[in-house]
Amino acid sequence: MTDLAHIRNFSIVAHIDHGKSTLADRLIQATGTVQDREMKEQMLDAMDIERERGITIKANTVRIDYRADDGETYVLNLIDTPGHVDFAYEVSRSMRAVEGSLLVVDSTQGVEAQTLANVYQAIDADHEIVPVLNKIDLPASDCDKVAGQIEDVIGIDAHDAIRVSAKTGEGIHETLEAIVHRLPAPRGDAAAPLRAMLVDSWYDAYLGVVVLVRIMDGVLRKGDRVRMMQNGSVHQVDRIGVFRPMMAVVDALGPGEIGFLTASIKQVRDTRVGDTITHEKRGCDTPLPGFKPSQPVVFCGLFPVDSAEFEDLREAIEKLALNDASFSSEMETSAALGFGFRCGFLGLLHLEVIRDRIEREYDIELITTAPSVVYHVFMKDGEVIELHNPADMPDLTYVDHVEEPRIRATILVPDEYLGDVLKLCQDRRGIQLDLTYAGPRAMVVYDLPLNEVVFDFYDRLKSVTKGYASFDYQLTEYRADNLVKMSVLVNEEPVDALSMLVHRDRAEMRGRAMVEKLKELIPRHMFKIPIQAAIGGKVVARETLSALRKDVTAKCYGGDVSRKKKLLEKQKKGKKKMRQFGRVEIPQEAFISALKMDE
């Protein structure tokens, strides 16, 4: 066990692409934690999707030994966190396990929306923060301006910010010295009863569940019987170790240390993130202040394109849920799409990542229905229903009102695109709360309904600002609004996969866009097909798909016109009958395209 004064626990926080994972690589390399022949780019991003998209999804940890200039050897525990808003949950719990943060800001880009969000989490967790200006090797780098921005926008003293190029390795030694001398050592009592915080857990095919822990007080040894305080389950510890990124087994973990334990646990669900682990016999009385379990924000249906693959999809979803506690699913059926699952996600990127993983790792082609959010439906008899799927909306005569989730969105945007951003937010029923300037960029704070954001807000924001805007949000509250369920009818049959909740003022516009799109996508049949968007019994938009016409008069050569009329009348009757009994086949591609709405 290491002496507390020689331990430093810290995380690296920053906006997406400001160089967190590259800086972690250089720290690992400079201290010789990994031999050069084993070194690779983004050492801590292990998943294929992380490496391919160049983003961090899971927070990862590594233990580094560093011999400082004062001759002492220090143990540094580093947690590399994701920068994307959907994975802010990973960031918040990593923060609780460490005492300090390196705030990495790109010296060519300056402070972005996500920088703010992550720094505020670090400040909430009472961290000592060391600012680091990265990418000083680029010609566009302007350290003084960015340091000024950090002081103005965040309010942290940045005159002695460390200047680093994580790519070339310049400034890495100064960073390591700052970690040792400017960040505080952890506190803890080795003689007290064991209190360990469960930071993360994932499933390993050979070891069972691997649990990442931060020891606050007491000592954890191999062979100990430990109790999870939230669900009371008791396990015997098989092995204890630390990550140097590879697993290295140790005999014991003392206060202030971060490591892992395995105890033949079968289900990741048994290891709730934020739980407190203590000894079975001599346990602590009060658990550590936990953090809230992650709440899914966006829901959508996942259906296999080939319905024979449903069992494979069930297996894939169960395996993914083993590794990702923030992803939830339940079975559902749809008349149009067959059997599938209704899944909850932390945001749209989380949804994309899970969908990509199912398609890639399990080779199943998927259809995703329109993403929707959780609504609270207040009935007239006082009952409150959580509505995940717009198709399940109860009859409006029994509904008193519907509340939708609202978010507080922070957008940082260059001045010349400000007008377009304000117009976009107003179009999405936004309420402006604040507008300030940080240098040449405007910082706009809006109160927006989440269901307007999950659809395609982020794509629209990127296109109106040519990619220069950065966007971050957090859920604030549920608020009542004039929301109605819009159903889509094809040949007078409702298509449940296309129903959605919309604001009454925008229902006609949304409905018209949807039916026009479906008219192009559904192939023509032998009979006329009406496509309608309706609210309750009232049709708000309609298009008619004309019929394919067979030339029944081709065999008439000359003769009386009444013969032709007779044949055409007969055809007309046949079509009328066909329309009553005919089934409209809507191809799968039509569903997918119809759900991708472009305003």
> Residues at the annotated binding site for GTP?
17-22, 134-137
Block residue for tokens 């059997």: 339
| Cβ-contact 32, 98 below 8 angstroms | no
* Residue in the block written with tokens 């004064």: 5
Give which of 452, 451, 412, 404 is closest to 428, Cα–Cα: 452
488 alpha-carbon distance from chain centroid = 29
User: Do 316 and 364 contact (CB within 8 A), yes or no?
Assistant: yes
DSSP secondary structure letters along 99-158? SEEEEEEETTT---HHHHHHHHHHHHTT-EEEEEEE-TTSTT--HHHHHHHIIIII----
The span from the CA of 200 to the CA of 208, in Å, is 14
The answer to whether 250 and 242 are in contact (CB under 8 A) is yes
Gap between the Cα atoms of 107 and 15, Å rounded:
12
- For residues 50 and 79, the answer to whether their CB atoms sit within 8 Å is no
Sheet with 100-106, strands from edge to edge, namely: 60-67, 73-80, 7-13, 100-106, 128-134, 162-163
DSSP string over 249-271: EESEE-TT-EEEEE-----GGGS
Of 327, 324, 303, nearest to 314 by C-alpha is: 303
Q: Are the C-beta atoms of 117 and 410 separated by less than 8 Å? A: yes
Structure tokens at 240: 């204890």
Question: Which residues, 6+ apart, have CB-to-CB distance to 427 below 8 Å?
Answer: 599
Supply 450's token pair: 């989440």
DSSP 36: G
Binding-site members are: 17-22, 134-137
Task: Give, in order, the Cα–Cα distances in Å from 403 to each of 150, 384, 501.
Answer: 38, 10, 11
